[in-house]
Amino acid sequence: MARCTSCGKQAGFGSIYCRQCEVRKRDEIAHRHQSTDTHVARMPNRRIVLRIEGNPILAGSFGEELTITNTGVEANVVRGLRRVTMTLPFNRVAQVNLARGIASAHLEVVNKGGQDSIVVRGLAKKEAENAKRIIEGYLAQPVPSAPPSSVGVISVADELRKLAELLAQGVLSDAEFQQQKARLLTMS
């Protein structure tokens, strides 16, 4: 009888997992797809620039995939015995390395933190060189500064209009109105 590759218990017929591990794996996959969908929904300006797949024979594992978007680099890679999806925004990329072999190339996108760098294996050389060039192009672009915030900006005309309404309602006296009006006009 086959054993579960995750926990060692008896695996179900035709499966490599026991019943508990199979349910857990299914839930992990569903959660990953759900979180990916919400991640994409939160990024309406996200645009795919390039998507390439590694050759599973040349990579020595399942095919790996690299996706370059206008916001960062995403990869579907094999780590140990698990397939993981990794995302690295351009502001977290330190450098891009390309290791050329005889038949293929490996592309490494290094994280500024040092851990969780993305390595995609088994890529065609020309595709890997093109991917490296695109990523380095994004890294060379200046980081956009945040737009000026309009929070806290007070229009003097709006404030004067509010003061006039308070005066008309009898909430403010004439002296209080003149005092607040002078204060607003000296601030601007």
Return the higher-pLDDT residue of 75 and 55.
75
- Residue 134's CB: how many other CB atoms inside 10 A? 15
**pLDDT exceeds cutoff 60 at 39:** no
The most confident of 22-31, 32-41, 61-70, by mean pLDDT: 61-70
Q: What is the pLDDT of residue 133?
A: 93
Dump the DSSP string for the chain: --B-TTT-SBPPTT-SS-HHHHHHHHHHHHHHHHHHHHHHHH-TT--EEEEEE--HHHHTSS--EEEEESSEEEEEEEETTEEEEEEEEGGGEEEEEEEE-SS-EEEEEEETTSSS-EEEEEE-HHHHHHHHHHHHHHHHSPPPPPPPP-TT---HHHHHHHHHHHHHHTSS-HHHHHHHHHHHHHH-
**Predicted pLDDT of residue 164:** 87
- In the numeric block, which tokens belong to residue 164? 């006039």
Q: What is the mean pLDDT of the chain?
A: 78
How many other C-beta atoms lie within 10 A of the C-beta of residue 178? Answer: 13
DSSP β-bridge partners for residue 69: 48
Question: Considering the entire predicted model, what is its pTM?
Answer: 0.53
User: What local confidence, expressed as pLDDT, does residue 30 receive?
Assistant: 54
Distance CA 93, CA 76 (A): 17
Question: Could you read off the pLDDT of 124-140 as tens digits, one per residue?
Answer: 889 999 999 999 998 88
Q: Is the pLDDT of residue 92 over 80?
A: yes
Buried b (16+ CB within 10 A) or exposed e, 80-106: eeebeebbbebeebeebeeeeeeebbb
| 58 — pLDDT class (breaks 50, 70, 90) | low
